[in-house]
Amino acid sequence: MESLEGRVAIITGAGRGLGREHARLFAAEGAKIVVNDLGEVAEETAAEIRATGGEAIASNHDITAWDGGRDLVATAVEGFGRLDVLVNNAGILRDRMLVSMSEEEWDLVVEVHLKGHFVPTRFAAAHWREQVKAGATVHASIIHTSSTSGLLGNPGQTNYGAAKAGIGSFSVICAQELARYGVRSNCIAPAARTRLTEATPGLGEVVAAPSEGFDVWDPANVSPLVAYLATADCDITGRTFFVQGGTVRVMEPWRMGERIERADRWTIADLGEQLPSILG
C-alpha cells in the first residue's frame, strides 16, 4: 500500500516548483489532491496527475481571502469526502533593501506568505475540530513552508524573511493548539531550485542544474519529507526541518541562552561591562 493511500491533501502553490513536486509525489503515493494555484497552472498539474491514474481537483481560490480559504477547504471535503493534509506552500518574492522597500512590496509579501498560511489553516483546523466534536478520530497533518531567510536572515529580504520567521512560530503554536483535535503541525525550510530562488540576486547560477551527477537543488528532493510528515502514522509535531538534496536537518527554535543575574536592578554602566560576557 502506498504511504498516503486514501489521504486527501490540499497543496497550495502546487502549479509549479516545490508545490507541483509535492502534488506529484502525493498522488503517486495514493493521495487525492486539491491543487491550489493561480491561473491555468493549477489545472495543468491536476490534469497531469489524472493522466497518470491519480485523482486531483484544480483550485484557483485566493488563499489570502477569508472566503477563499473557507471555499478551498470545502472543495476538498465536497470533492473527496474528507480532508487529511494541508500543505501551505504558496509564496512570492519582492526583494528590496530595507531603505528602498515600498509599502506595497512589504504588504504583498507578508499577505501572501503569512496570511496565506493562516487563512487555509484556520478553516482546515475548524473542520477537524468539528469532526472531533462529532465523534470522529482525526489523524491530520499540516506542513508549513518557512525559509532560512526568515530563520537565519538574509539581506534584501526583510519582508520575505519576516513573513517566513512568522510562519515558523505560527507552526509551533498550531502544534500546541491543535494537538487536542488530532492535528499535527510541522514546518520545512527548503533549499531548492524554484522561480523564487532563481530570482534571488546571486542565486541563479548557484541553483542551476548540473550537467551530471546528483542535482541537490532539484525541488523533488524536498517532497519525500513533506510526504512523510503527511502520513497518518507519523507522530512528529511542532518541529522545523531544513531540507536540501539528501540532507535533512532539525532547525532549533529560539531558546534561552546564557544569562547574567543580580538581586537588584541593573545599571546601564554595569550592563555595559557584564553583558558582553554572555555573548560569546
Residue positions annotated with a catalytic role: 147, 160, 164
Residue 45 · residue 56 · CB < 8 Å? yes
Helix (H, G, I), strand (E, B) or coil at 214: coil
**Which residues on adjacent β-strands are paired with residue 33?**
9, 56
Helix (H, G, I), strand (E, B) or coil at 241: strand
CA nearest neighbour of 115 among 155, 77, 170, 73: 170
Backbone angles phi, psi at 73, to 5 degrees: -65, -40
Cα-Cα end-to-end distance for the chain: 52
CA nearest neighbour of 145 among 160, 156, 125: 160
Report DSSP state, residue 83: -
Cell of 230: 503527511
CA dihedral 68, 112, 21, 44 (to 10 degrees): 50
